Copies of this chain bind each other. A is one copy, B any other.
Amino acid sequence: MTRPTSAYVDYRVSVAYIGSVLKYLAAAPLFPLLLAVFYGEDPLPFVAGSAVMLAVGVLFERAHDTNDEDALGNREAFLVVSLAWLVVPLAGTVPYLVAGTGTVAGPVNALFESMSGFTTTGATVLGEISVARHGHAMLMWRQLTQWLGGMGILVLMVAILPELSVGGAQVMDQESPGLSLNKLTPRIQKTARVLWAIYVGFTLLAAVVYYSLHLLDVAPNMDLYNAVAHALTTMPTGGFSPKARSVEAFAPAVQWAVMPFMLVAGTNFALFWYVLRGEPRRLVENAEFRSYLLAVVAFGALVSALLFVGVGLDATPANVDVIPGNAENSLRQGLFQVIGVVTTTGYASMDFNTWDASTQTIILFAYFLGGSAGSAAGSIKIVRWVLVEKAVVRSLFTSVHPDAVRPVRLGDEPVDEDTILSVFTFVVLFLALFAASTVLLYLDTLRTPELSLTGLEAMSAAIATLGNVGPGFGPIGPMNSFEPFSNAGKLYMVFLMWIGRLEVVSVLVILTPSFWRS
């Protein structure tokens, strides 16, 4: 996408591309529609959702000829990416609004839930999460939004953002399939097909594994519905669950089974392509993959050890009787929560609000890691931290040896200096946005009598949404809801989920005046 920038931003091209996306998306509500028919629930929300997507999609597509590939310049591509993640979540609110059940009958709540779904965040404003209240079909729609969002993000991360050089996304290029193709569209098509095949494959495998635990009588409540529902939100690192208590609702065996699938979901999908091609060394020798596993093991071991000796838990909850001194339980709870947060999935096997300040602060740091590039994970991502660490070490070295020339290397490849600067720019922007958002959300809750947050909890609200992780601490923990926030606070977090999902820079670019100047 290094074609010359056109004289003006041709937003009609961007609108047309978004129209195509919507048109295909109109098929998605058919799955919950089938469930509605099967369970004898109201089919109207999904008929209406599909109809709106199709109608708007066809209308938008008429704005321009999408076969005219040359019309899609650098700036039009930025516009497609940023607007697609606004328009699709807006269209996704239709089923919630038409059903009119519970908190998501309100437009702000519906938008929050839909944006949280399509950005694979997993923060929720559903008051009562139960099939009895919302029906099988509607809760499956909620799960499905995350799975669809994950598909979009994979293509965004591995095929589009690297071409737009966003936030150092170029480094992912090294591992992407289809490097030799120059045209954007064929490249995206080929990459997308490979990644989606891997994504669908792992989703099916997760559903089979989860359901087999039911068939083996190990997890009576992991029926086919729940197996599919959780498989749909594991692979996109989404974290929505039809159970109010998340994965805590299931047997320990289910919790152990979910962990490897979360780890897979936080891995660069391009690496699995090499495994399929018979080059598994490309996976195990990958610099980011090694750091990712190291981070999970280190954080997981630390938290598990603190739980095992009983330091990491509040003195009050019932869990204190069953976790300290119990190796399996400590390891499972420590690892599960760490993997849930590092991969930005946001599933929980226990409420870490019953943990003490030491384990909670470790988890807070884990929020900033963010899985691997080239996956649907959010937040800063391990590869950026690896590059920051290497650049800092290089900087210390050259302070002492000013004449030394040492490129920063990732694996064996030297990394471009422009990429390093992009990575630093991203990290500083992300942290500045986190800091400012913490303050804004904290000040907002001061004016919301129902919701009193500590400083740590306000931080968790900011990073849970900006980093697309999902749950926070305290009143917005994994077994709770973001519903008590004011409408202003919720809309601000809708903005955070959106800008975080698009790697900050893609959105900021279209907000700068120079973007629109010719």
Residues of A at the B interface (CB closer than 8 Å) are 2, 5, 74-75, 78, 164-166, 357-358, 361, 365, 388, 391-393, 395-403, 417, 420-422, 424-425, 427-429, 431, 435, 439, 442-443, 446, 454-456, 459, 505, 508-509, 512, 514-515
Check A164 against B425 for contact (C-beta < 8 Å). Answer: no
* Known contacts A397-B512, A400-B515: A392-B361 contact under CB 8 Å: no
Could you list some 15 contacts between A and B, CB below 8 A? Answer: A78-B400, A357-B443, A365-B435, A391-B425, A392-B428, A392-B429, A396-B509, A396-B512, A396-B514, A399-B505, A417-B417, A417-B421, A421-B424, A424-B425, A454-B455
List 4 other contacts, CB 8 Å, given A75-B400, A417-B417.
A397-B512, A424-B428, A427-B428, A431-B431
* Shortest beta-carbon distance from A360 to chain B in Å: 10
Q: Nearest residue in B to A439 (C-beta to C-beta)?
A: B361
Copies of this chain in its oligomeric complex? 2
Most chain-B CB neighbours within 10 Å: which of A392, A431, A435, A443? A392
* Shortest beta-carbon distance from A54 to chain B in Å: 33
Q: A420 to B391, alpha carbons, bound, how many Å?
A: 13
Check B512 against A425 for contact (C-beta < 8 Å). Answer: no
Check B505 against A396 for contact (C-beta < 8 Å). Answer: yes
User: Chain B residues near A512 (CB, 8 Å)?
Assistant: 393, 396-397, 400
User: Chain B residues near A422 (CB, 8 Å)?
Assistant: 395
Check A421 against B401 for contact (C-beta < 8 Å). Answer: no
9 tightest Cβ-Cβ pairs between the two chains A and B = A455-B455, A424-B424, A455-B456, A361-B439, A395-B425, A399-B509, A396-B512, A396-B509, A400-B515
Check A5 against B361 for contact (C-beta < 8 Å). Answer: no
Q: Nearest residue in B to A423 (C-beta to C-beta)?
A: B424
Q: A435 to B164, alpha carbons, bound, how many Å?
A: 31
Q: A78 to B505, alpha carbons, bound, how many Å?
A: 37
User: Chain B residues near A399 (CB, 8 Å)?
Assistant: 74, 78, 164-166, 505, 509
User: Chain B residues near A75 (CB, 8 Å)?
Assistant: 400
User: Chain B residues near A443 (CB, 8 Å)?
Assistant: 357-358, 361
User: Chain B residues near A505 (CB, 8 Å)?
Assistant: 395-396, 399
* Known contacts A417-B421, A424-B424: A400-B74 contact under CB 8 Å: yes
User: Chain B residues near A455 (CB, 8 Å)?
Assistant: 454-456, 459
Most chain-B CB neighbours within 10 Å: which of A357, A422, A442? A357
Q: Nearest residue in B to A163 (C-beta to C-beta)?
A: B402
* Shortest beta-carbon distance from A170 to chain B in Å: 11
Q: A512 to B401, alpha carbons, bound, how many Å?
A: 13
* Shortest beta-carbon distance from A8 to chain B in Å: 12
* Shortest beta-carbon distance from A513 to chain B in Å: 10
* Shortest beta-carbon distance from A164 to chain B in Å: 6
Q: A396 to B454, alpha carbons, bound, how many Å?
A: 35
User: Chain B residues near A424 (CB, 8 Å)?
Assistant: 421, 424-425, 428
Question: Residue A402 contacts which of B2, B365, B425, B442 (CB distance < 8 angstroms)?
Answer: B2
User: Chain B residues near A393 (CB, 8 Å)?
Assistant: 512
* Known contacts A420-B421, A425-B392: A509-B400 contact under CB 8 Å: yes
Q: A166 to B416, alpha carbons, bound, how many Å?
A: 22
Most chain-B CB neighbours within 10 Å: which of A358, A393, A425, A454? A425
Most chain-B CB neighbours within 10 Å: which of A74, A388, A395, A396? A395
